[in-house]
């Protein structure tokens, strides 16, 4: 039996699931009805993002394993033992450990960018493929009232939550760069996000900046400031 899911507004996918959003969607102000709906949507979003994170970890590992030493990239792995022996990336944890302890060279930055941003930009509409995969695996479908909305939108709420699952994971990965203290961000080299036709302009797969992370005293939040900006194209 297929599970029906409602085509939800963008706010449910990217932000806090507020009471006002729930009232608007379930067309009721009854506190019990709204609470049940809010719980249902919270679980739905958690299920999708949980699945997405596991899939993203698997894909990141595959990308890392495919990168070989070259003039542009450094391989993902680590030396261990005495005498030191090279162990290539085998799991997502290996990527985390590599990014945490790598030297922070330009080749390391290029490798990280390829794993986290470059491959995904080359794989256009990957989230729609994953949405289909998720919904087929768990027998989900959009309910009849959502079909038209799905046709009118570039992507459905399942696809959006899959993207947000990846974003959550990347944010966690960025924070572990303790040895070289850098984070890699997408960046358009001309600084423009809108093209001549007024449409959103995607950055290229190999465009990014290295941004220094500055940790300030305890009981305050972690912030970052721009330092030694490097553009790669």
> Is residue 191 domain-resident?
no
Answer whether 177's CB lies under 8 Å from 100's CB.
yes
Instruction: Give the pLDDT of residue 45.
Output: 84
> Is residue 212 domain-resident?
no
> Is residue 208 domain-resident?
no
11 or 44, greater pLDDT:
44
> Is residue 231 domain-resident?
no
pLDDT over 70, % of the chain: 62
> Is residue 43 domain-resident?
yes
pTM over 0.75: no
| Predicted confidence (pLDDT) per residue in 201-233, tens digit | 555 655 545 555 444 344 444 333 333 333 333
Instruction: Give the pLDDT of residue 155.
Output: 76
> Is residue 101 domain-resident?
yes
User: How many structural domains comprise the chain?
Assistant: 1
pLDDT average, residue stretch 173-200? 60
Task: Kindly write down the DSSP assignment for every residue of 105-157, as one continuous string.
Answer: -HHHHHHHHIIIIIHHHHSTTHHHHHHHHHHHHTTEEE-GGGHHHHHHSSS-H
| Predicted confidence (pLDDT) per residue in 148-165, tens digit | 665 666 677 888 889 999
pLDDT average, residue stretch 110-118? 91
Domain encompassing residue 19:
3-179
The C-alpha R_g of the chain, in whole angstroms, comes to: 21
Whether 50 shows a pLDDT value over 80: the answer reads yes
Provide CB contacts within 8 A for 67, sequence distance 6+.
Answer: 73, 75, 76, 111, 114, 115
Among candidates 181, 173, 174, which has minimal Cα distance to 213? 181
> Is residue 93 domain-resident?
yes
Average model confidence (pLDDT) for the chain?
75
* Helix (H), strand (E) at residue 186: strand 182-186
> Is residue 194 domain-resident?
no
Q: How confident is the model at residue 79 (pLDDT cuts 50, 70, 90)?
A: confident
Q: How far apart are CA 151 and CA 39, in angstroms?
A: 27
């Amino acid at each position: 039996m297929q599970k029906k899911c409602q085509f939800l507004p963008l706010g449910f996918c990217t932000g806090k699931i507020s009471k006002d959003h729930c009232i608007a969607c379930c067309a009721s102000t009854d506190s019990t009805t709204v609470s049940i709906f809010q719980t249902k949507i919270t679980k739905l979003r958690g299920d999708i993002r949980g699945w997405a994170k596991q899939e993203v970890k698997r894909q990141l590992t595959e990308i890392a394993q495919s990168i070989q030493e070259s003039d542009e990239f450094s391989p993902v792995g680590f030396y261990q033992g005495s005498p030191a022996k090279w162990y290539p990336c085998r799991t997502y944890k290996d990527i985390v450990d590599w990014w945490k302890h790598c030297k922070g060279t330009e080749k390391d930055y290029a490798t990280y960018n390829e794993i986290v941003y470059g491959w995904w930009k080359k794989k256009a509409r990957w989230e729609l493929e994953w949405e289909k995969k998720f919904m087929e695996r768990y027998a989900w479908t959009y309910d009849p009232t959502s079909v038209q909305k799905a046709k009118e939108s570039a992507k459905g709420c399942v696809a959006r939550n899959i993207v947000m699952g990846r974003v959550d994971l990347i944010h966690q990965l960025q924070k572990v760069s303790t040895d070289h203290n850098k984070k890699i961000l997408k960046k358009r080299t001309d600084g423009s996000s809108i093209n001549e036709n007024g449409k959103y302009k995607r950055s290229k797969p190999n465009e990014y900046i290295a941004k220094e992370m500055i940790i300030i005293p305890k009981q305050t939040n972690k912030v970052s400031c721009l330092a030694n900006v490097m553009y790669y194209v």
